[in-house]
Amino acid sequence: MVVELLKIFGLSLMLMISPVNAASDFEFENIDGGLLNLQDFRGSPVLIVNTASRCGFTYQYEGLQKLHDKYSEQGLVVITVPSNDFNQELRTEAAVQDFCEINYNLSLPMTTITSVKGSRAHPFFQWMKKQHGFTPRWNFYKVLLDPEGNLVETYNSITKPTSPKITSKIEQFLKKDS
């Protein structure tokens, strides 16, 4: 009986402890060199978007930059994750950077070209699939994390970055004193 109670207590304790892999446990290679460690953004809402330069939704870079411009001083971090999983990304990181700078004047964090689905998916996206059943089905799918790194919501390509559906959620987590 005591052993059974200890097992139940141990299981209950394990369930109360946060999962081994929280969103903040992941890092991406920064297209500018170094790493984008999600732990560094703890305390801020984070919007992670898989992108592609040759997609019909590429115009959404403009909206992502607007979100960054409007909300970054209040804590929002927008991270773009270029991916060629849907065969619409340029071949090199340098080409992606040039395209984004010339066409959209992007100043937000960007990863290297990264897989977001399947067996080669980045560990963050593997975790999203395992823990939340989410896999991007196309470019410009969006993942919103709260300041603690918990999943708030996911959005498909059709949902524009500056839509009230997204901005209303972001605004719930912004630092009000800025």
Instruction: Map out the domains of the chain as residue ranges.
Output: 21-172
Residue recorded with tokens 């109360």:
16
* Parts of the chain with a pLDDT under 70: 1-21, 177-178
Instruction: Report which DSSP code applies to 40.
Output: G
100 tagged catalytic: no
pLDDT at position 167: 98
What amino acid is encoded at 62 in this protein? Answer: E
Q: Give me the catalytic one of 29, 37, 55, 70.
A: 55
Distance, CA of 102 to CA of 40 (rounded, Å): 28
Residue 161 φ then ψ, to 5° = -55, -35
pLDDT at position 59: 98
pLDDT at position 19: 52
Architecture per CATH, domain 21-172, reads as 3-Layer(aba) Sandwich (3.40)
pLDDT at position 17: 44
pLDDT at position 9: 43
Q: How many residues does the chain have?
A: 178
